[in-house]
Amino acid sequence: MRGATLLLEEGKENVSSSELAKFLGLNSAKIRKDISYFGKFGTRGVGYNTLKLIKQISKILKIDKQHKAVLVGVGNLGKAIMAYTGFAVYGFSIEAAFDSDTKKIGTKVNGIVVEDITKLESMRSEKIQMAILTVNCEQAQQVADSLVSNGVKGILNFSPCQIEVPRGVKVISIDIALDMARLPYYIPKI
């Protein structure tokens, strides 16, 4: 699936590939082909059952179940993410937060008590497989190593640096500044 993720208008029982294509700014054949890689979900002459399609895609992306995550680095960005409600849509919940700053440890952020980063192994009992990394570049690799050794299999990395992880662990990196840096390119006569 190279295609984009779907954002379906709710309330319609069926949706056609051309409607989806229009909405996403893509070719309808691409939509059909992408979906077809995972099976035959549609009905000829009708389209795709909206609810069924959402469920199928959720299953494929494995977001049909709840996922627990921990957050490491309770700075401004970390706090913003902890307060962000948008994760719930995809079944994510932040179960614990860690930081190395003694001033932050013990304080409550969004109902979660910030724990000492050296006590990361406390997350083990929860069988948490995902982590959000909002520490600075210097700490990122070390924290990632620690997360992996405590059972984390997926990391959403907000630090502006590359981190190395063993096979079987997935890192998705978001560098906000780098995304912003792409903007001037498109602006004529700056």
Contacting residues toward DNA, per CB under 7 A = 2-3, 16-18, 26-30, 32-33, 35-36, 40-48
- Contact between 148 and 124 under an 8 Å Cβ cutoff? The reply is no
Site for a copy of itself in 15-54 (CB under 8 A): none
63 binds, among DNA, a copy of itself, none (CB under 5 to 8 A by kind): a copy of itself
Tell me if 174 contacts a copy of itself by CB under 8 A.
yes
| Separation of first and last alpha carbons in the chain | 37
- Contact between 103 and 119 under an 8 Å Cβ cutoff? The reply is no
43 binds, among DNA, a copy of itself, none (CB under 5 to 8 A by kind): DNA
Rounded Cα distance between 179 and 128, Å, is 29
Tell me if 75 contacts a copy of itself by CB under 8 A.
yes
51 binds, among DNA, a copy of itself, none (CB under 5 to 8 A by kind): none
For tokens 């992306």, name the residue.
Answer: 61
Q: In angstroms, what is the C-alpha Rg of the chain?
A: 20
CB of 16 to DNA, least distance (A): 4
Give the closest residue to 72 by CA, choosing from 119, 13, 23: 119
For tokens 């949706």, name the residue.
Answer: 15
Rounded Cα distance between 159 and 62, Å, is 25
Tell me if 10 contacts a copy of itself by CB under 8 A.
no
What does the binding site for a copy of itself look like in residue numbers (CB under 8 A)?
5, 7, 60-63, 65, 67, 75-77, 79-81, 83-84, 86-87, 89-90, 92, 129-130, 132, 153-156, 160, 162, 168, 170, 172, 174-188, 190
